[in-house]
Structure formats: structure tokens, C-alpha cells
């Protein structure tokens, strides 16, 4: 099963800690969406975690994993699906222009606030994917204002 990670699950270590078996890890992009930190954190008040929001002419870079059915069930538990996040099958693009369908978590509307910032330790997980992100995208992530 293909799963597109754009938030803290871009960290291979985090995926391993969540008991997800990975057979493939490659760069991918989600077109027509932007990255926001507007999903209300369940850990700390006032903090946001990653979400993707439809936005024409925008692109979210991330990691495309090939995982098992058990892996997606483990992620469902950690992402509190379907209460905190919905899971949708969306088109993502691989290098070379190849498109494929992948599971993508998108925050439930009731769990969004547009006045949030990510925690520094949370943002670190996204930066762990530097090897699969463009220099510009990595730089943009590095410059996000954080809490704590």
C-alpha cells in the first residue's frame, strides 16, 4: 500500500517507532495542496501539526512509502483516524512525472485552527527527510516560526 507522508511521518525513525514496516521510501509531490500547521495538536495547547489544504498552483513535497496493511492500521491509531484525520486516496507525483495513488491523511475540519505554530521538536521530524526534499522546500521548512 502506498502512503504519502508530509508531516512528522517523513521521519524514518518515527515510522519505525510506530511499528510500520517499510519496503520503499521515495520522494513524491502532492500538487494542488499547500502545507499548513493548522491541525490542533493533541499534545500541547496552542501548537499545530502538519496538514495539507487544497490550494491551486501549490505543491507539497513529501515521502512516498510502500507499507503493509498492518502499517496503515498502526498509522490510523497514531493519527487518530477518523476522529482527528480523514484518510484519502490522492494522486501523487514521483520524479520523472509518474503519478500514482497514495493514502494521505487530511485533518478533520473541526480539528483545524489557523492561528497555530509547530513545536521545534515536531518540525525536526519533517527536517529528517532532507535527503528526499528539494533544497528550496527544506529551506522553507527550516524557516517556520515555532513554539517552545
Q: What confidence tens digit (pLDDT) does each residue in 19-75 have?
A: 999 999 999 999 999 999 999 999 988 999 999 999 999 999 999 999 999 999 999
Query: Is residue 92 assigned to a domain?
Result: yes
CB under 8 A, 24+ apart: contacts of 50-59: 50/6, 50/7, 50/8, 50/118, 50/126, 51/7, 51/106, 51/107, 51/112, 52/6, 52/104, 52/106, 56/32, 57/32, 58/31, 58/32, 58/33, 58/34, 59/29, 59/30, 59/31, 59/33
Query: Is residue 85 assigned to a domain?
Result: yes
The model's pTM: 0.97
d(CA 101, CA 45): 34
Query: Is residue 111 assigned to a domain?
Result: yes
Q: 35-46 burial string, b = 16+ CB within 10 Å, else e?
A: bbbbbbbeeeee
Query: Is residue 147 assigned to a domain?
Result: no
Query: Is residue 146 assigned to a domain?
Result: no
Contacting residues for 32 by C-beta, under 8 A, at least 6 apart: 54, 55, 56, 57, 58
Query: Is residue 43 assigned to a domain?
Result: yes
Domain at 46, CATH number:
3.10.490.10
Q: What confidence tens digit (pLDDT) does each residue in 100-142 have?
A: 999 999 999 999 999 999 999 999 999 999 999 999 999 999 9
Query: Is residue 148 assigned to a domain?
Result: no
The whole-number pLDDT of residue 148 equals 74
Range of the structural domain that residue 18 is part of: 2-141
How many domains are contained in the chain?
1
Amino acid at each position: 500500500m502506498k502512503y504519502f507522508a508530509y508531516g512528522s511521518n517523513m521521519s524514518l525513525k518515527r515510522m519505525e517507532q510506530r511499528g510500520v514496516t517499510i519496503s520503499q521510501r521515495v520522494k513524491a509531490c502532492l500538487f494542488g495542496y499547500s502545507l499548513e500547521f493548522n491541525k490542533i495538536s493533541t499534545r500541547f495547547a496552542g501548537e499545530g501539526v502538519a496538514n495539507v489544504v487544497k490550494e491551486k498552483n501549490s505543491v507539497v513535497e513529501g515521502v512516498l512509502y510502500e507499507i503493509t496493511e498492518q502499517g496503515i492500521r498502526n498509522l490510523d491509531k497514531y493519527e487518530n483516524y477518523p476522529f482527528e484525520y480523514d484518510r484519502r486516496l490522492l494522486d501523487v507525483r514521483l520524479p520523472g512525472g509518474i503519478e500514482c495513488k497514495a493514502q494521505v491523511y487530511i485533518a478533520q475540519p473541526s480539528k483545524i485552527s489557523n492561528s497555530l505554530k509547530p513545536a521545534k521538536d515536531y518540525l525536526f521530524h519533517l527536517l529528517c527527510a532532507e535527503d528526499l526534499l528539494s533544497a528550496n522546500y527544506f529551506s522553507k521548512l527550516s524557516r517556520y516560526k515555532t513554539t517552545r
